[in-house]
Amino acid sequence: MPIYNRIADFHEDLVATRRDIHAHPELGFEEHRTSDLVAQQLEAWGIEVHRNIATTGVVGVLRGSGNSKRSIGLRADMDALPMDEEGTPKHRSTNPGKMHACGHDGHTTMLLGAARYLAETKNFDGTVHFIFQPAEEGGGGGRVMVEEGLFDKFECDTVWGMHNSPDLPAGTFAIRPGPLMAAVDMAKVTINAQGCHAAQPHMGKDPIAIGVQLYTAIQTIVSRNVDPIKSAVVSVTMFHAGSAHNVISQAAEMCATIRTFDPDVRGLVEERIKDLCLGIEKMHGVDIQLEYEHGYPATVNHEQETKRAIEIAKEVVDPSMIDADIPPTMGGEDFSYMLQERPGAFIWIGGGKTDNDPALHHPKYDFNDEVLPLGASYWSKLVELELPKN
């Protein structure tokens, strides 16, 4: 394939870039060095560069040969995770407490590879916007970019995203129409009760006992309220109370994550948690405060663009290497905000880990450099097919 062969010619450059980013990870909205690197490379290839979108975001604008008004957006995320790297590659993190454990270093590099190839060939008619987004890991950088007028400043008929999946074989792609990743919400419950001496429990109101009842009740939301045909996850992940063995605490705190695909189910779970907090509050005569935070919405692929993504992948790999109906995952992704604004699709690219290799968000995870040319080739072929020359 001509595209792959050309990109493979500068594979070593891509590896060097990816490992440089990996060695210098930066957290959400702090990707100053990474943004500098991205901007410098884009400018070196003659691509128009716009900076400081959502603080550290970068958008490169490349116009092809011709006068077409068609335009598309290709998005990659740049931020790292707040964790120490335990692996020992030569390019391991030099920033304590920060690590590229989700492969965003690879995502950024694959899009840079496509930008380099497309700037060199310009075998398309229209405009490509290379969107380098900050703060995907919980910061909502995609939402901020949209709120700051991303698609007003850089008109895109469609928008496209890609994420590595080490669980899938290297050299494969996977996608599905409709919900691909879940909406992510968070709940924090504070039980303000009445502390007392542990030897006189009748003199107080035990927030731990109350919290255990609330925890048990929350487990019935999915099993007894959500349609079994639909999906939801409610996981209580933190429960804190007390500091001494002979004191019944004055308060307790619980936190939970809620994952859903269907907006109606998302609303149902929120209402049931509110109802349970109110009911148990009245039953025990305590004060229960609920902070409910809506996180990323579900990542929902548009049907027509999903079909196009599959057709494009078939131009890059053998059709047998494509899963066109992969099951959705309960993980979250803030590319969802962009898909709410423009039609598009989000695709997985296989990373090819073995049973003993670490998965995403593991302190020893490292992106597979062998798939860099494949990801860049997919992006490049997408542009050439979506913005064909007349």
The answer for residues whose C-beta is within 8 angstroms of residue 347's C-beta and 6 or more apart is 160, 161, 162, 163, 173, 174, 175, 309, 313, 378
Q: Which of 26, 77, 79, 384 is catalytic?
A: 79
**Cα–Cα distance between 333 and 298 in angstroms, integer?**
8
DSSP state of 381: H
Q: Is residue 344 within 8 Å of 85, Cβ to Cβ? A: no
Q: Which of 31, 136, 185, 270 is catalytic?
A: 136
**Cα–Cα distance between 74 and 163 in angstroms, integer?**
12
DSSP state of 203: G
Task: Evaluate the CA torsion angle 30, 36, 37, 43 in order and state its sign.
Answer: positive
The answer for residues whose C-beta is within 8 angstroms of residue 374's C-beta and 6 or more apart is 4, 171, 316, 317, 349
370 is catalytic: no
Distances (CA, A) of 261 to 183, 231, 290, 323, 342: 6, 7, 23, 20, 19
Q: What are the tokens at 144?
A: 């901020």
Q: Is residue 230 within 8 Å of 267, Cβ to Cβ? A: no
The answer for residues whose C-beta is within 8 angstroms of residue 311's C-beta and 6 or more apart is 385
79 is catalytic: yes
Tally the C-alpha atoms within 13 A of residue 91's C-alpha that lie toward its C-beta: 18
Q: Is residue 29 within 8 Å of 100, Cβ to Cβ? A: no
Q: What are the tokens at 347?
A: 């695709």
Helix axes 263-284, 207-224, angle to 10 degrees: 150
Residues that are catalytic: 79, 136
